[in-house]
Chains A and B, each alone.
Chain A
Amino acid sequence: MRTFFRVFIFLLPLAAWAHLGSPDVYYDGNAGPYHLLVTIRPPAVVPGVAQILVRSYSTAGEIDRIQILPLTIEGEGENLAPRPDAMVRSADDPQLYTGNLWIMLRGSWKVRVQVEGKQGDSEINVPVAAVSLTAAHMDRGTSLMLGGFGLLLVVGLVGILRAANGPAQVLPKQSMSPTLKRRSMVGMSIGAIFILVVLVSGDLWWNTEATANETMVYRVPELQAQLKAPGVLKITLENPNSRSFGDNQWRNFWAQSVVLNDLVPDHGHLMHLFLVSMPDMKSFWHLHPDATGAQEFVAKLPAVPPGRYRVYADVVHSTGFPETEVGTIDLPAVGGEPDASLGGDDSGSPALVASDKIAALSSGYRMIWERDPSPLRAQQAVIFRFRIEDKDGRPATDLENYMGMAAHAVFLSDDGKVFAHVHPQGSVSMAALALAQGPTRGSASPMGSMSMAPLPAEVSFPYGFPQPGDYHFFVQVKRAGHVETGMFVAHAVE
């Protein structure tokens, strides 16, 4: 087998989809009267096991039982579902429930969280995208271990064959005849050749499986960004994971097709485009290009400082499958006043100042990160809370909805390989969330926060850093008709 011939270097390419490098789903919402924080850790490889964590914010003792069930986001899966699994309440933390679910196909899923409690039964559907992220490469340790054991097996088997064709046929206390000795060697040699043939066939088989798997691994789509005319940015999307259901083979692996002509608006826009200057990240822009074709979008650029920018384009398919396309562009200076050149829901800032506590906004306003003093840990769900106050330290009273939500946040690792576009309800796509609830379920409207009541001066986001390292994150709120951006830095530990 392969391990007998090859030693692989540990190479796990960091690949992920919507929320680049940040596959875990965080959702803060209500299942009827019960306030929950749901974390879904999809498997790195599909079919695989997803880990589900649910934290209850309801009064202790309110909830009797929580059950979970995986379903494809749409379709007949709902009618063919098994009985839900009961989550296990943590012995140390009675508000925390854990469970595992098998995800058998790649694509768009939802996890149904059913709550039984003192205020009756209720449920919420949380969308999750599941794909295989890694092309299999064996790390050196495993390779050496399996290779060593494999070699031992081969040597042992050759020895057994030698004994079987010779010494084993001799009566106790007698010795082998010359003929039997010769037969023993011939038998062993033929056996060794046979073993070699089996090993080579096994290696070929493994290669075939590995190649088939490789074609099923999700590839991060790379967009092409170019300046079409001064101040006009053209974005061309790619679809390296094109899955057309004309080919039945895909049906065994994917729950839905992945095509580019099925994009749907996510909180009002087909695409949310983020430009971030690298490596300083001081210039940050959140734009909404117009579609000019199935794969082409055009954005009017505001007056951005020149430099190298990382480009992240968030789109959602009609299947609820979210993707982030990534690219890089070197931009020349685009003149004019930044604010004056922004249109519609576009926003951004050319010269943000990073802070680990307080970000200065316009008119003396400030955004304060109400941070827990304990260190931030990778893969741990945290509620990031921010308070907006005026120049006198009083809570802001003029906050407005920005594209239907109280706030938007972007979490970005300093190397640009982790990107997550998060809202107060979590890291789920709002379009997928709406789809997951189904046409008749209105209890968990993703736009539930679109009320006309005055917005509180505090916003929060559930999120967890996927891995240890340094991160920048950008928090956007709308105040007095103007979008403000605060930039913060954080370090996540193991």
Chain B
Amino acid sequence: MNTTVAGTPTLATDFAATQSGADAIPWYAWTSVLASLSMTTGLYWDISWHMTIGRDTFWTPAHLLIQFGAVLGGLAAAILIFRTTFSRNREAKESSVRILGFWGPLGAFLCAWGAAAMLISAPFDNWWHNNYGLDVKILSPPHELLGVGLESINFGGIILMVGLLNRAQGILRPRLQLMMLTVGGLVLANSMIGRLELTDRAMMHRAAMYLALAIGPPFVLETVARATRLRWARTGAAAIYTFLFALGVWIMPRFSAEPKLAPVYQHITHMVPLAFPILILAPAFALDLLWRKLNAVQPTPGFGEKWLQATVAGMVYVPALIAAQWPFAEFLMSPASRNWVFGTLDQPYMVPPDWYGARNLFLPFEGWAHFWIRLAWAVFAATLCTRLGIMFGNWMRKVQR
């Protein structure tokens, strides 16, 4: 907790602290990171639960972790907002924004909004189950509301921190940068969980998978890079995702579990981890190298130049990803990968033994025409996402409150 200014800590004192070069990270930055970590871990666990056990209740540990993250993010935001709103300290309000009569930092409002969305999605999802059946599809309106709420808490946390970062000096800066990078890496991990079905091992020699990976991740990488102002931010965020997913591959199988839902096609005795991480690390590294050049060539790009930069980034992202993942996919299909490190031994309980992936085979090639068309779309999507990331990231740099 920040105590560099006498009296009760408020946004004003936080503001003063950032100006004075103090090294204390405000408590709400810590809770933001913890909330994000809790939700991503919960998401990972939940998917693994559905791949291993199949049926669940509201009270599974995975669900509780997600809920804890939401409650933590929401409570922290509520405290910040109420404390500022009902504070007699004028300075507190003068370093806040006003929304619907309440005062507080912008990031807190987004966190509160995300927590409210997640809360509302619960009765909505319950109604959905009662009327359309238990989850047969991951994608449904209440789940989307939950997902949007979850990411709002993550981005709310980043915005809370970026507001501080944009004013911070001294040792506080690198610490805040690292914390933001962590949340960014978690957002990237969530984004990768969201496209798991499209990034199955059997899909890795199809352009369709690279198209799926071009929608979303480039946006996250670009936003995080600009918000944190770290030279290796993209690589860092990708490394956090890679580390978390690899850790999952190594840890989850240590826990005993068995399927509870028919049909059980795979004999499973332990938790099935999510697949080994996709090598997003490669394009992220390539993009970090690229942006050094681009920034050197044009430090203050105009509107058209930003589009040009995004196009170049899109044209680097997709080939770099393919160059790394395509041969790595060959390895993942080979007997050499069937060990605890790469985790290709386990299949979810519901995968029939004749499924391509279960036989360590790629799905049939989609044909050159489809391949090139999808790759072109992938480059387009990566370009668009990068451009949006530039816009959002640049906006973040302006956040002061």
Query: Which residues from chain A sit less than 8 Å from chain B, CB to CB?
Result: 1, 43-49, 70-71, 76-77, 80-83, 85, 102, 104, 132, 134, 136-138, 142, 145-146, 149-150, 152-153, 155-157, 159-160, 162-164, 167-173, 202, 205-206, 209-210, 213, 252
Contact = CB atoms under 8 A, between A and B. Distances in A.
B395 A164 contact: yes
Given A82-B258, A162-B99, 11 more contacts: A80-B262, A102-B54, A104-B262, A145-B123, A156-B113, A163-B109, A168-B401, A170-B401, A171-B167, A210-B132, A252-B136
A172 B262 contact: no
A80 B91 contact: no
B91 to A, nearest CB: 7
In the complex, the 8 A-B pairs of residues with the closest C-beta atoms, listed nearest first:
A136-B131, A172-B95, A80-B263, A159-B99, A163-B97, A168-B106, A47-B134, A47-B133
A160 B141 contact: no
A76, A85, A156 — which one has the most chain B CB atoms within 10 A of its CB? Answer: A156
Contacts of B262: 70-71, 77, 80-82, 104
11 contacts: A45-B133, A77-B263, A81-B262, A146-B123, A163-B98, A163-B106, A168-B106, A169-B401, A172-B95, A210-B132, A213-B131
A145 B130 CA distance: 17
B307 interface: no
A258 to B, nearest CB: 18
A71 B116 CA distance: 40
A160 B264 CA distance: 47
B134, B140, B163, B399 — which one has the most chain A CB atoms within 10 A of its CB? Answer: B134
A153 B99 contact: no
Contact of A153 (B98, B120, B134, B260): B120
A45 B131 contact: yes
Contacts, number: 134
Contacts of A150: 120
A170 B400 contact: yes
A173 B134 contact: no
Interface string B94-132: 110111100000100110110011001001100101111
A162 B112 CA distance: 16
Contact of B133 (A132, A146, A167, A168): A132
Contact of B141 (A46, A77, A83, A205): A205
A82 B258 CA distance: 8
Interface residues of B, number: 48
Contacts of A142: 123, 127
A136 B141 contact: no
Interface string B253-290: 00000111111110000000000000000000000000
Contacts of B133: 43, 45-48, 132, 213
Contacts of B99: 156, 159-160, 162-163
A233 to B, nearest CB: 39
A156 B109 contact: yes
A160 B113 contact: yes
A91 B15 CA distance: 59
A353 B139 CA distance: 57
B293 interface: no
B231 interface: no
A63 to B, nearest CB: 23
A25 B258 CA distance: 29
A172 B261 contact: no
Contacts of B132: 45, 136, 209-210, 213
A173 B95 contact: yes
B111 to A, nearest CB: 10
Given A146-B123, A156-B116, A102 B261 contact: yes
Contacts of B263: 76-77, 80-81
Given A146-B123, A156-B99, A163-B99, A47 B116 contact: no
Nearest to B266: A80
Given A157-B113, A167-B97, A82 B260 contact: yes
Contacts of A138: 127, 131
Given A157-B113, A172-B94, A82 B264 contact: yes
A172 B10 CA distance: 13
A77 B265 CA distance: 10
Nearest to A203: B141
B398 interface: yes
A212 B250 CA distance: 40
B55 interface: yes
